[in-house]
Amino acid sequence: MTLAAPRPALAGDWCYRPYPLTGGVPQLVCFPHAGGDVTAFSGLAAELVPDLEVWAIRLPARGGRFTDRMPSGFRELVTAVVAGLVPHLRPGSVFYGQSFGALLAYEVARALPAERCPRLVVPACAPPPSAWPGSIPPTDEGAAELLARCGLAGALPDDETIRELAVATIRADLTVCRTYRPPGVPATFAIHAVAGAGDEALPPGTLAGWSAATTGRFTTSVEPGGHLLATPLTRGPADLLRKLHAAAPA
């Protein structure tokens, strides 16, 4: 007899557990892409059982938090995420973020107390922090162009209402991104930067730029997939994340 998967669970306003596990299973904290929600990590969570438990960050102005206001600035967003995540964060976690979520994962890790700092941050399909200022597309860019740039062109259902909501959320996220300013001092935690083999939005050589974002261990890899490695319809880089967690420095 096949046992039913446990029901998803919330932990405060900011954390969603697609596949809750018990017994102190290590955490993989996942940060969604621009316009994305926690549903992007449902397939990944199921694939990582029983080795890692996914805790997805619930950003405002989408999904179950549709009526919540998105902070107006990137620094305010980081502060809010840290406050919501710290009570639930276990020592020795790993952070994984896609595109906009990669930058957010990096800055949240930097802002955490030392005893809560992740063992490893895995930015996927994203330019390094130094490349973000001045690179955000204009908010008046067409809907089709925005969806394609964010890797959502083929990931959304053919429903005009859903697409309009996604575009509005992307615009809000990009507005927050425009306020981002890179830190003057690099981080100290380990970073493994990832690119999708079919990602046409990420220029060649971009991953190497992440080496300047930390004084800790730095590695890279190219994985199968496009601009979004984990989506509601795919399992994401489960094998890579399992291996990285096992090899991450204490």
- What confidence tens digit (pLDDT) does each residue in 40-81 have? 999 999 999 999 999 999 999 998 999 999 998 999 999 999
Identify the pLDDT of residue 230.
Answer: 93
Dig out the tokens for 161 from the structure: 């209402």
Residues 32, 132: Cα–Cα separation, whole Å:
17
Higher pLDDT, 22 or 239: 239
Average pLDDT along the chain: 88
Q: With a cut of 80, say whether residue 164 has pLDDT above it.
A: no
Task: Tokens 């620094």: give the residue.
Answer: 75
Sequence-ordered list of residues with C-beta below 8 angstroms from that of 198, at least 6 positions apart, any chain:
224, 225, 226
The tens digit of pLDDT for each residue in 129-150 reads 999 987 776 665 555 566 666 6
Q: Alpha helices of 10-151 — where are they, by DSSP H? A: 42-48, 74-85, 100-111, 143-149
Angstrom distance (rounded) from CA 180 to CA 213: 15
Indicate whether 2 pLDDT > 50.
no
How high is the pLDDT of residue 1? 37
Greater pLDDT, 202 or 167? 202
Rg (CA), the chain: 17
**Beta-sheet strand order (sheet of 120-124):** 9-11, 15-17, 53-57, 27-31, 94-98, 120-124, 190-196, 218-223
* pLDDT above 90 for 35: no
Judged against a pLDDT cut of 90, whether residue 82 lies above it is answered with yes
Domains and CATH numbers, the chain: 9-236 (3.40.50.1820)
Distance CA 173, CA 109 (A): 19
